[in-house]
Structure 1
Amino acid sequence: MGKIFLLMGKSTSGKDTIYKSLIKDEELALKMVVLYTTRPMRDGETDGVQYFFKSEEDYQSLKAAKKIIEERTYHTNYGPWRYFTADDGQIDLKTGNYLVIGTLESYCYTRDYFGSENVVPLLIDVDARTRLERAMHREAKQEHPKYDEMCRRFLADEEDFSEEKIAEAGVTKRFFNNAEIESCIQEITGYIKSFL
């Protein structure tokens, strides 16, 4: 039976960069799962690559059909943005191992849906100052920067990934990405291999 490795961390913790490195590692042979979102596409994103970008109506249709495995809604300054995983045939644990990006909340839902023995949390941890500097740098590159939304997300992550919630979820292993992302990736790679 395969495993779902769920990569999570606060915004600008390096999840996307780490994900890309792990998914390219042929030795790990992890399969991608493309998540869904109702948020607007950012510059440089492609539908079906980073996410399946859907409308609120699309989301409601999937929910009515009981096709949503896990979901979370962020009440942004631009309205609600939903992120979710759909039971759309992408995940079949009989055929391999998967790598998914999510949140602490999505980890709990995915663990409960597939069983704790099949879902492995990979929590990326970064100090607040480094995260804020990275967030400012990333937002400045956007054609229409949304600094207000960046600040809202930063503060929301502090609550969503509180020490109490991490403990309640039973997540004990952390990977630190404050400086050298390559060493963080190597540590995660070794950890994943211990399950294969």
Structure 2
Amino acid sequence: MGKIFYIMGKSSSGKDTIYSRLLQDSELGLSRIVLYTTRPMREGETEGKEYHFTDRDFYEKLQAMGKVIEARTYQTVYGPWTYFTADDGTLELKKNSYLGIGTLESYQGMREYYGEDKVVPVYVEVEDGERLKRAIRREEQQKVPKYEEMCRRFLADAEDFSEEKLRAADIRERFFNTELENCIKEIKNRIQKLQ
């Protein structure tokens, strides 16, 4: 029986890089969970890889059909952006283990839907000063940097991933991304022990 290993962490913690590297690791053999979002595609993103990029109408249609597992909407400086996971028939836990990525809130929704024994949290942590530097470097590479949105996300993360909320979600283990290769190795070892 497969498991869902669910990566989460504050913005610019390196979770996207870790996610990509773990997916590429043939020893782990993990399949990808692709979330949906109504936000615009960023430069360098590909439909169906990082997210399924969709619109509000499609989200509401899936919700009416009872196919939305979990969803969160953020009031950004560019309007509301919704991120959600849908039961679109692509997950087969009897055959495969999966790697997902999202927020603490989305992890809790997945755990509630699939069961505590099937969803394993992988919480990535980075010191806030280093995270802010990484976020600025990432925005500087965009054609149209969105610094206001970057700041909003940074501040919102302090609340979204507060110690209280981590405890309430039963997040006991943390993977410190001080040095990327070591962090990936630690996460890989953890996944292999549970497969």
Structures share a fold, TM > 0.5? Answer: yes
Tell me by how many angstroms 1:72 deviates. 1.1
More moved, 157-166 vs 55-64: 55-64
2:63 alignment partner, SS class: helix
Give the match for residue 32 of structure 2. Answer: 32
2:118 is equivalent to residue 118 of structure 1: yes
Give the match for residue 160 of structure 1. Answer: 160
1:76 & 1:187 partners in 2: Cα distance? 34
1:117 alignment partner, SS class: coil
Give the match for residue 127 of structure 2. Answer: 127
2:10 is equivalent to residue 10 of structure 1: yes
Q: Cα deviation per residue 1:4-38 (whole Å; 9 max; x = unaligned)? A: 00000000000111011100111110001111000
Give the match for residue 185 of structure 1. Answer: 184
Tell me by how many angstroms 1:195 deviates. 0.4
TM-score by length of 2: 0.99
Give the match for residue 141 of structure 1. Answer: 141
2:22 alignment partner, SS class: helix
Tell me by how many angstroms 1:46 deviates. 1.2
1:34 & 1:105 partners in 2: Cα distance? 16
Q: Cα deviation per residue 1:94-124 (whole Å; 9 max; x = unaligned)? A: 0110000011111111001000000000000
1:120 alignment partner, SS class: strand
Structure 2 unaligned blocks of 5 or more: none
TM-score by length of 1: 0.98
Q: Cα deviation per residue 1:35-54 (whole Å; 9 max; x = unaligned)? A: 10000000011111111000
2:22 & 2:49 partners in 1: Cα distance? 16
Q: CA RMSD in A?
A: 0.6
1:97 & 1:136 partners in 2: Cα distance? 34
User: Among the aligned pairs, what percent are the same residue?
Assistant: 58
2:19 is equivalent to residue 19 of structure 1: yes
Give the match for residue 89 of structure 1. Answer: 89
Give the match for residue 105 of structure 1. Answer: 105
Tell me by how many angstroms 1:92 deviates. 1.2
2:39 is equivalent to residue 56 of structure 1: no
Structure 1: 4+ residue segments shifted above 2 A: none
Q: Cα deviation per residue 1:70-103 (whole Å; 9 max; x = unaligned)? A: 1111110111111111100111110110000011
Aligned residues: 195
Give the match for residue 69 of structure 1. Answer: 69
Give the match for residue 170 of structure 1. Answer: 170
Read off the aligned partner of 2:7 and give its amino acid letter.
Answer: L
Structure 1 unaligned blocks of 5 or more: none
Q: Cα deviation per residue 1:114-144 (whole Å; 9 max; x = unaligned)? A: 0000000000001100110000000010000
2:66 alignment partner, SS class: coil
